[in-house]
Structure 1
Amino acid sequence: MNTMDSSRSLLPPEEEQPLSGVSDFRGRPVYRSTSGGWRSALFVVAVELGGSFAYFGVSANLITYLSGPLGQSNASAAAAVNAWSGTACMLPLLGAFLADSFLGRYPSILLACALYILGYGILTVTVASSSAAGGPSLAQVAFLYVSLYLIAFAQGADKPCGLAFGADQFDSDDPRESASRSSLFNWWYFSMAIGISVAIAVVSYVQENVSWTVGFGIPFAIMFCVCAVFLLGTPTYRLYAPSPGARNPLARLARSLVKDDDDDKESSEEARGVLRLLPIWATCLAYGVAYAQIMTLFNKQGRTLDRRIGNSGLEVPPAALQTLGPVTILLFVPMYDRAVVPALRRVTGNPRGMTTLQRIGAGMAVSLAALTIAAAVEGQRLERVREQRAVMRWTWVVPQYVAMGVADVLAVVGMQEFFHGEMPEGLRSLGLALYLSVMGIGGFISSALISLLDGITRRDGSQGWFADDLNRGHLDYFYCLLAAISAVELTFFLCFSRSYAYRRNKPLPLLC
């Protein structure tokens, strides 16, 4: 084939019409045969998979770095990690607004890529320089936190847009592309669980057994590569022009809250639609608090255990125990889809097995069980320490990690589906951000609780609940307190859920 024939083969057939409302990155019309589909979506999946890998590669073991090389106390390190992760989960609210109103999804992801590379780059250089100096200076600590919050801002620009932009590459009006679009959602969550599992296991091992510099450098290298991959797909992307009604959704909502007249009936309805979600949202916050313990106090608890595998002498890093959650997700998702849902369908008559609110409530109940188990295990561990018995094996904490993995499948997916589906049409892009804010505010609440209780429990001269030597602390008391808070919020959640009216389908009743 000569050069002219090759160039002609790349052109769309003359009879093919350009896709309506879609353009490429230069504003030119695009055609189905030369754009979108899996050829484009996989580039987006790459950057999102890399983003999750990098974020959890840092966050899973960050408390160990702060309380180790940086010399912070357990309480201050846990509070700092909770505040940072909470910020990373809250910023998608701002990112969703900016993407829908001004930037668009593709430019938002480009901005996120730049912030990711800058943040992880500064983090790597800061850790390397502080290691070379034998310890961090005040300026280096400041740069460390600057880098972490650059990553948080990158999360804010990326998370509301990544999955949505990937879905944009499939035409929902085309039967074949619509089926592929559904597959994207399924494989997206599955792929994220794999990436998180590998990141936690591999990166945490490198950090503690090779060097912190290499351990933090791996996420930087991964993000640099996947951002380059994302750029390679640019010529094939489908960019949708925003609809007029979708612009400035928060501004329109704010106007409707202070202006309720016949001239703005649609906005007033949107405001009421969002306000009726707030009681459900507020009672989900206890789940966000429970979730915040996985990367912080569960990690510190694991460090006190015998983590050897058999007689091999190989010791599992405490952060690597967090892989039990994603592994549980990988195992439970097919089980839930193939066994649990059909069984529930026969009992409830609901095609999905149970309503989204029932699914969230079940997840909250399982997270309550996880906190109760964690309290019991920690109480048993402290009793062994007092009696000078053998150190507890790492297998004792497996149930609490597994329970949180099951809770994740139920509550997290339920919240994603609920807040997206129940959000008014013009505000649906904020649904994912609203779910993420549950995790974000949960992190802030956990941070505030730890700081407050640490101050209170140290007043009598003791080392407090969060003592640097956990054998002298009382994490079991803190877990019991969180379990009690979760039980109270679960009760309120069930009451609000019972009276909630879905936008489309009548829900099955929840008992209060």
Structure 2
Amino acid sequence: MEAANVYTQDGTVDLQGRPVLASRTGRWKACSFLLGYEAFERMAFYGIASNLVNYLTTRLHEDTISSVRNVNNWSGAVWITPIAGAYIADSYMGRFWTFTASSLLYVLGMILLTMAVTVKSLRPTCVNGVCNKASSLQITFFYIALYTIAIGAGGTKPNISTFGADQFDNYNLKEKKQKVSFFNWWMFSSFLGALFATLGLVYIQENLGWGLGYGIPTVGLLVSLIVFYIGTPLYRHRVVKPDNLAKDLVQVPITAFKNRKLHCPDDLLELHELDSHYYKSTGKHQVHHTPTFRFLDKAAIKTYSRDLPCTVTKVEVAKRVLGLTLIWLVTLIPSTLWAQVNTLFVKQGTTLDRKLGSSFQIPAASLGTFVTLSMLLSVPIYDRYFVPFMRKKTGNPRGITILQRLGIGFVIQIVAVAVASAVEVKRMRVIREFHITSPKQVVPMSIFWLLPQYSLLGIGDVFNAIGLLEFFYDQSPEEMQSLGTTFFTSGIGLGNFLNSFLVTMIDKITSKGGRKSWIGDNLNDSRLDYYYGFLVVISIVNMGLFLWAASKYVYKSDDTKEFSGGCVQMEAKALDTSPLTI
């Protein structure tokens, strides 16, 4: 009993694999060494992503559609590669070592990118702001640097946030309560990095040089890594269990299909499961039966075949992943909406009056600052005021359920894009009024007209982005929580790829027969309002699908109760779609 009070109760260990003292490790004391890396990594990413579309069009001479597609494809790669990084961490190397190897690759990519815009032989020559056509070597080197960063992000993004969450013991009530706020403040540090990128780095890139604009976050990353490793003695580590998770997930539906003609027993004790002592001795988590996706239960039916059936635990893990997948599918359209921030919103801003005072000109990409500012202002309000207020109303420790949080965020995003469409209608009216035809003519309309759409997306992200990260970490099976957070990152990645696909297809369809494309090179003679309207329509349809998926979802619970027949079953509640119980 004394040891249980001294050591962590969740089985975490130090870097040498020894049990760790709860009082000397983990918690916010350890997390403070991680927050710096997250801030500088987000600074690096948004320092590239926010203004990449402008670099591609002004320095590499790419057209609007190609530049938007390439930005989306790169951003998609940054967010999709974490699937591989999380799998390696959960199955082989652990989060700490996977992060270590990948962060070095990330820094290498940043160094290469800084060289690509600094070294004379690697960048196109420019005279009076007009650049010559880049050579094949220069383009190739630039994209190698970009995708080196994307590969490095694959191992850092899914592991650094989950490694931070691992510093809180779920079996300690005080630490478990602290973890409720962890993702809010983790994203707060992320927003700080994004704020400096959109406010400072974008201006530096356009006015002081792209090399300095990429060099600053590179140095910052290196410093933050040193700080990260200084905190090594304080870190708690999850023990890596080398199970083949992918094989188990595939085996369950295949076995269930083979047994599809068999009758599932009424007594759950007749389903195949290992003795509870096995799980205790191996340190693995036993998951008890739940009444969802009952067709998969047939994978655990005992048969006379030489092949062993799946255990109830394996079946339940597959059920959880299937439930997460349904929610994940309805996050793709919201991720597509967010993809506009670094692409079409920026191009839209380049056509407007960006002067502030007599001489200062606001970089179009800097308006992304207001996304971050609205996030930074909203997170403390949400955590310190909204959550306690709703906690009194609902009794939920989070104030509202995670899926309620997501639903609110999705609605705010739809409103943001509807506002963007209305602002674009206003812009087109001004263009007709002043007879503007050239793509380089400035529309006499302040860029601050775009402020509401940026700010609304930022407020929506407090509900949406943080909620998604928390949801997929919290609801994932314990042995695959790094892999679980890749539902979050891959959703953003596929959302970018989907936007790339939609932009390309809309351009081809609307420009048929010599007609004007909705998204042409000359945005002063295009119809972005139609494209934004199209996004609003598919988002409303998607919102209906989200409500359906949420009504079917059953939350994972740590509570257990006695079930008929002596079986211990996980307590689970199906969602109600009423305002306070989603």
TM-score (norm 2): 0.78
2:410 match: 364
Q: Name 1:471's counterpart in structure 2.
A: 524
For the Cα contact (< 8 Å) 1:100–1:248, is it kept in 2? no
SS of the residue aligned with 1:436? helix
Alignment pair present for 1:272 and 2:262? no
Q: Look up the equivalent residue of 1:394 and give its one-letter code.
A: I
Question: Residues 354 and 508 of structure 1 are in contact (CA less than 8 Å); yes or no, is this contact kept in structure 2?
Answer: no
Q: 2:335 aligns with which of 282, 288, 297?
A: 288
Please point out which of 186, 195, 198 is paired with 1:197: 195
User: Is 2:53–2:68's contact at 8 Å kept on the other side of the alignment?
Assistant: yes
| Alpha-carbon contact 2:103-2:153 (below 8 Å) kept | no
Q: Could you say what secondary structure the match of 1:391 adopts?
A: strand
Q: 1:322 aligns with which of 335, 356, 368?
A: 368
Question: What letter corresponds to residue 315 of structure 1 in structure 2?
Answer: Q
1:17 & 1:418 partners in 2: Cα distance? 30
Gaps of 5+ in 2: 127-131, 256-298, 302-308, 436-442, 557-571
Q: Shift in Å at residue 438 of structure 1?
A: 1.4
| d(CA) in 1 for partners of 2:399, 2:320 | 25
Counterparts in 2 of 1:44-59, with a 5 A limit?
44-59=34-49
The C-alpha deviation readout for 1:7-56, integer Å capped at 9, x for no partner, is xxxxxxxxx97778555445566555665455543222222221111111
CA distance in 2, matches of 1:35, 1:332: 31
Q: One-letter code of the match for 1:149?
A: Y
Letter paired with 2:244: N
Q: Report the CA distance shift for 1:34/1:451 in structure 2 as closer, same or farther (over 3 A).
A: same
How far apart are residue 449 of structure 1 and its match?
A: 0.9
2:53 aligned residue (58, 63, 67): 63
Letter of the 1:195 partner, please give it. Answer: G
SS of equivalent to 2:353: coil
CA 239–272 in structure 1, closer or farther in 2 if over 3 Å, else same:
closer
Further displaced range: 179-188 or 140-149: 179-188
Query: Shift in Å at residue 426 of structure 1?
Result: 3.5
Tell whether 2:245 aligns with 1:249: yes
The SS at the match of 1:466 is coil
- Equivalence for 2:427: 381
Q: Give me the whole-angstrom Cα distance separating, in 2, the residues matched to 1:180 and 1:510.
A: 28
Displacement of 1:374: 0.5
Aligned counterpart, 1:240: 238
Counterpart in the other structure of 1:501: 554
CA distance in 1 between counterparts of 2:201 and 2:498 reads: 28
Matches within 5 A, 1:135-214: 135=132, 136-173=134-171, 181=179, 184-214=182-212
Give the structure 2 partner of residue 13 of structure 1: none
Match of 2:276 in 1: none
Residues 25 and 417 (structure 1), Cα distance of their counterparts in 2 relative to 1, 3 Å cut: closer
More displaced, 417-426 or 405-414? Answer: 417-426
Aligned pair partner of 1:104 in 89, 94, 106: 94
Q: Distance in 2 between matches of 1:280 and 1:19?
A: 33
The answer to whether 1:447 aligns with 2:437 is no
Counterparts of 1:19 and 1:414 in 2: how far apart (Å)? 27
1:454 and 1:117 map into 2 onto residues whose CA distance is 36
**What is the number of equivalent residue pairs in this alignment?**
494
Find out whether 1:412 has 2:465 as its counterpart: yes
* Cα distance between partner residues in 2 of 1:437 and 1:485: 20
Q: CA deviation at 1:131?
A: 3.7
Cα distance in 2, alignment partners of residues 86 and 139 from structure 1:
24
2:511 corresponds, among 449, 455, 458, to 458
The residue type equivalent to 1:509 in the other structure is T
Q: Residue deviations 1:77-127, cap 9 Å, x none?
A: 111111111111111122111100011111111112111111111111112
Q: Which moved more, 1:27-36 or 1:144-153?
A: 27-36
Tell me if structure 2 keeps the 8 A contact 1:362–1:410: yes
Tell me how far 1:65 sits from its aligned partner: 0.4
* 1:91 aligned partner: 81
Kept in 1, the 8 Å contact 2:46–2:194? The answer is yes
In structure 1, distance between residues paired with 2:516 and 2:466 = 39
Give CA deviations for 1:237-270 in whole Å, capped at 9, x if unaligned. 33332246xx332222122222223331221222
Q: Distance in 1 between matches of 2:318 and 2:44?
A: 37
Q: Is the 8 A contact 1:355 1:507 kept in 2?
A: no
* 1:308-367 Cα shifts (integer Å, max 9, x gaps): 23x353221111100111111112223334444455556656554432222212211111
CA distance in 2, matches of 1:473, 1:404: 24
User: SS at 2:531's partner residue?
Assistant: helix
* Separation in 2, partners of 1:426, 1:32: 21
d(CA) in 1 for partners of 2:177, 2:394: 27
The alignment partner of 2:512 has SS state of coil
- Take 2:94 and 2:340, find their aligned partners in 1: how far apart are those partners? 34
Structure having the higher helix fraction is: 1
Task: Give 1:336's match in structure 2, choosing from 377, 382, 389.
Answer: 382
Quote how far apart the aligned CAs of 1:195 are. Answer: 1.5
SS at 1:392's partner residue? strand
| Per-residue Cα deviation, 1:457-499 (whole angstroms, up to 9, x for no partner) | 3333355222222101111111111111111111121223233
Q: Distance in 1 between matches of 2:320 and 2:165?
A: 25
Measured at CA, do residues 256 and 23 of structure 1 come closer, stay the same or move farther in structure 2, by a change above 3 Å? same
Give the Å deviation of 1:386.
Answer: 1.2
Q: Percent identity?
A: 37
Specify the code of the residue in structure 2 equivalent to 1:256: V
Between 43-52 and 400-409, the greater mean CA deviation after superposition: 43-52
Q: Which amino acid aligns with 1:78?
A: V
Asked if structure 2 preserves the Cα contact closer than 8 Å seen for 1:494 and 1:510, the reply is no
State the Cα distance separating 1:198 from its structure 2 match: 1.1
Question: Is residue 2:352 matched to residue 1:354?
Answer: no
Paired residue for 2:353? 306
The one-letter code matched in structure 2 to 1:415 is L
Please give the alpha-carbon distance, in whole angstroms, between the structure 2 residues aligned to 1:232 and 1:421: 28
Larger Rg: 2
Counterpart Cα distance in 1 of 2:349 and 2:167: 43
Which residue number corresponds to residue 217 of structure 2?
Answer: 219
1:261 alignment counterpart: 300
Instruction: Measure, in 1, the Cα distance between the counterparts of 2:453 and 2:169.
Output: 42
**Structure 2 CA distance for aligned equivalents of residues 280 and 234 of structure 1:** 36
More deviation, 329-338/111-120: 329-338
Change (3 A) 1:407 1:103: same
Q: Is the 8 A contact 2:38 2:189 kept in 1?
A: no
CA contact (8 A) 1:87 1:152 kept: yes
Say yes or no: does 1:123 pair with 2:137: no
Q: Distance in 2 between matches of 1:178 and 1:350?
A: 14
Q: Provide the C-alpha distance between the structure 2 equivalents of 1:35 and 1:466, rounded to a whole number of angstroms.
A: 54
Task: Give distance in 2, aligned partners of 1:315 and 1:127.
Answer: 23
